C-alpha cells in the first residue's frame, strides 16, 4: 500500500490557518488542518471583536472562528486534533511527526500562531490554574466579587482589565513602566473605568501563596520608590504579549531573535513549498484580519506552487 501524500497540510486552526484552509479547500486541495495546542487560536479566547470588517456590531471571537471553520469544511477541509512534535522539511514530500502518527505532504502552511507569555517566576508557574491565568475570558468568572490584578501595558492588558471589571470588585493593572504600548482608545477606556486602578513602574517579584495552592497576594517592587511590599489580590492575569509557536521547527527555517519565523514577500519561507502566515511570522500587525489575509496569501501560493510542480 502506498503511503498517502497530502497536497497541503496546515498547522494551526486560528484565523490564519482556517482562512488558508478555506482558500485551499476551494482550490480543491483537500487541506488537512492539524489543530494545534490551542484549537481556534487566540480568537477563541477573546470576547467581542469590533474591528473585523463586515460585522458592524462586532462578533464574538469564538463565533467568528467557528464560522470560518464551517466555511472551510463546506469546501472539503479536514481537521485533526494534535500538534507537530518534529518535522523533516529537508526533502519533499515533507514529513510531519505528530507523536502517534506521521503525515506526508507536498506543501506546508505554518499558521501555528503565538501563545501567551508568562513572567517566568517559579511561584507564578506553580499557581497557574489556581489564581494565575493568561485568559480572562476563560477564568474571569471564578473571581466574581474579588479584587484581582492584571499585568501588562499593551492592548491585551487593557482588554483583559476591562473585561474583568464584569466580575471583579476592583482590578489593579500593574505595569513595569509608566509609558504604555496600548492604543490610546483602549488606554483611555481603562483609565476612565472606576473599577480599574493603575500601579506603574511596578514589578511582580513573587506570587503568594504556593503552599496554600491559591493566590493570596503579590510581592511588588516599586521601581521609583525603590521599595518592595506585599499587595493582597485573589488572582493575577497576565496580559504581557505572546511567543511564536515555532520551536518544533528546530533550525529548519530562519527565525528572528524572538523565534518569529522569517518570511519574504509575506508568506515565503526559505524552503520551496513551505509557507508561513499569521502571528507565527508577524510581530508587527498581529490582527485577526492580517492573519486571515496572510492565510489567504499562503493558500494561493500553495496552489501556484503545486501547479508549477505539475500536481
Ligand atoms: P504588547 O503590545 O507587546 O504589550 C506587552 C506588554 O506587556 C507591554 O506593556 C510590556 O511592557 C509588557 N511586558 C512584556 N513582558 C513583560 C514582563 N516579562 N514583565 C512585565 N511586563 C511585561 O502585547 P499585546 O498587548 O498582547 O498586544 C499585541 C498586539 O495585539 C498589539 O499590536 C495590539 O494592538 C494587538 N491587540 C489588539 C487588541 C484590540 O484592538 N482589541 C487587543 C489585544 C491585542 P513594556 O511596554 O515595558 O515592554
For residues 173 and 199, the answer to whether their CB atoms sit within 8 Å is yes
Please identify, among 223, 238, 253, the residue that sits at the C-terminal boundary of a domain.
Answer: 238
Check pocket membership of 240 for ligand 1, CB cut-off 6 A: yes
Is residue 100 domain-shared with residue 247, that is, in the same domain? yes
Burial class (CB in 10 A: 0-12, 13-18, 19+), 147: middle
Is residue 126 domain-shared with residue 182, that is, in the same domain? yes
> For 200-228, what is the mean pLDDT?
97
Is residue 251 domain-shared with residue 232, that is, in the same domain? no
Is residue 249 domain-shared with residue 107, that is, in the same domain? yes
Give the CATH number, domain containing residue 208: 3.50.50.60
Q: For the whole model, what pTM was predicted? A: 0.78
Mutate to test the pocket of ligand 1, among 16, 125, 153 (most ligand atoms within 8 A of CB): 153
Express each pLDDT in 53-94 by its tens digit: 999 999 999 999 999 999 999 999 999 999 999 999 999 999
Mutate to test the pocket of ligand 1, among 48, 135, 150, 156 (most ligand atoms within 8 A of CB): 156
- Structure-model confidence comparison of residues 45 and 148, the more confident one: 148
Is residue 62 domain-shared with residue 90, that is, in the same domain? yes
Is residue 211 domain-shared with residue 271, that is, in the same domain? no
Is residue 230 domain-shared with residue 185, that is, in the same domain? yes
Please identify, among 194, 219, 238, the residue that sits at the C-terminal boundary of a domain.
Answer: 238
Please identify, among 185, 211, 238, the residue that sits at the C-terminal boundary of a domain.
Answer: 238
Residue 285 has pLDDT above 90, yes or no: no
Q: What is the three-state SS of 120-163?
A: CCHHHHHCECCCEECCHHHHHHHHCCCEEEEECCCHHHHHHHHH
Ligand 1: atom nearest CA of 155 is: 25
Closest residue to atom 3 of ligand 1, CA basis: 241
Closest residue to atom 17 of ligand 1, CA basis: 119
137 closest CA partner among 110, 161, 121: 161
Express each pLDDT in 223-252 by its tens digit: 999 999 999 999 999 999 889 999 989 899
Check pocket membership of 153 for ligand 1, CB cut-off 6 A: yes
Is residue 228 domain-shared with residue 254, that is, in the same domain? no
Give the three-state DSSP class for 310. coil
Query: Which domain, by its residues, includes 205?
Result: 122-238
Which residues fall within 8 angstroms of residue 189, CB to CB, at 6 or more apart? 158, 162
Closest residue to atom 2 of ligand 1, CA basis: 154
Express each pLDDT in 104-152 by its tens digit: 999 999 999 998 899 999 999 999 989 999 888 878 999 999 999 999 9
Residue 48 has pLDDT above 80, yes or no: no
Q: What is the pLDDT of residue 1?
A: 52
Check pocket membership of 159 for ligand 1, CB cut-off 6 A: yes
Closest residue to atom 36 of ligand 1, CA basis: 155
Q: What's the gap in Å between 155 CA and the centre of ligand 1? A: 6
Q: What is the pLDDT of residue 234?
A: 98
Mutate to test the pocket of ligand 1, among 152, 183, 287 (most ligand atoms within 8 A of CB): 152
Q: How many domains are there within the chain?
A: 2
Is residue 248 domain-shared with residue 234, that is, in the same domain? no
Q: How far is C-alpha 45 from the chain's CA centre?
A: 9
191 closest CA partner among 171, 177, 176, 217: 171
Closest residue to atom 33 of ligand 1, CA basis: 155
Is residue 26 domain-shared with residue 86, that is, in the same domain? yes
Is residue 86 domain-shared with residue 223, that is, in the same domain? no
Check pocket membership of 286 for ligand 1, CB cut-off 6 A: yes
Is residue 74 domain-shared with residue 221, that is, in the same domain? no
C-alpha 161/C-alpha 148 separation (Å) is 9
Check pocket membership of 181 for ligand 1, CB cut-off 6 A: yes
Express each pLDDT in 286-298 by its tens digit: 889 999 999 999 9
C-alpha 120/C-alpha 204 separation (Å) is 11
The set of catalytic residues is 135, 138-139
Amino acid at each position: 500500500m502506498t503511503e498517502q501524500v497530502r497536497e497541503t497540510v496546515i498547522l494551526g486552526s486560528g484565523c490564519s490557518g482556517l482562512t488558508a484552509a478555506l482558500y485551499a479547500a476551494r482550490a480543491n486541495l483537500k487541506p488537512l488542518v492539524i489543530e494545534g495546542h490551542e484549537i481556534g487560536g487566540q480568537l477563541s479566547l477573546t470576547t467581542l471583536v469590533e474591528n473585523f470588517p463586515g460585522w458592524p456590531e462586532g462578533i464574538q471571537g469564538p463565533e467568528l472562528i467557528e464560522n470560518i471553520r464551517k466555511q472551510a469544511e463546506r469546501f472539503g477541509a479536514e481537521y485533526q486534533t494534535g500538534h507537530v512534535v518534529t518535522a523533516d522539511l529537508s526533502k519533499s514530500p515533507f514529513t510531519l511527526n505528530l507523536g502517534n502518527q506521521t503525515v506526508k505532504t507536498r506543501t506546508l502552511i505554518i499558521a501555528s500562531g503565538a501563545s501567551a507569555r508568562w513572567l517566568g517566576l517559579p511561584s507564578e508557574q506553580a499557581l497557574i490554574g489556581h489564581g494565575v491565568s493568561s485568559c480572562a475570558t476563560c477564568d474571569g468568572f471564578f473571581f466574581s466579587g474579588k479584587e484581582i490584578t492584571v499585568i501588562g501595558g499593551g492592548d491585551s492588558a487593557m482588554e483583559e482589565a476591562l473585561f474583568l471589571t464584569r466580575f471583579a470588585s476592583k482590578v489593579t493593572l500593574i505595569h513595569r513602566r509608566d509609558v504604555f504600548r496600548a492604543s490610546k482608545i483602549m488606554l483611555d477606556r481603562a483609565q476612565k473605568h472606576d473599577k480599574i486602578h493603575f500601579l506603574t513602574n511596578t514589578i511582580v517579584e513573587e506570587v503568594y501563596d504556593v503552599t496554600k495552592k491559591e493566590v493570596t497576594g503579590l510581592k511588588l517592587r516599586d521601581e521609583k520608590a525603590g521599595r518592595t511590599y506585599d499587595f493582597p489580590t485573589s488572582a493575577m492575569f497576565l496580559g504581557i504579549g505572546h511567543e511564536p509557536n515555532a520551536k518544533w521547527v528546530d533550525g529548519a527555517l530562519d527565525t528572528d531573535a524572538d523565534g518569529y519565523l522569517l518570511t519574504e514577500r509575506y508568506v515565503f519561507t526559505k524552503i520551496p513549498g513551505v509557507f508561513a502566515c499569521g502571528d507565527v511570522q508577524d510581530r508587527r500587525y498581529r490582527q485577526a484580519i492580517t492573519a486571515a489575509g496572510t492565510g489567504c496569501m499562503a493558500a494561493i501560493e500553495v496552489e501556484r506552487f503545486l501547479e508549477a510542480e505539475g500536481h
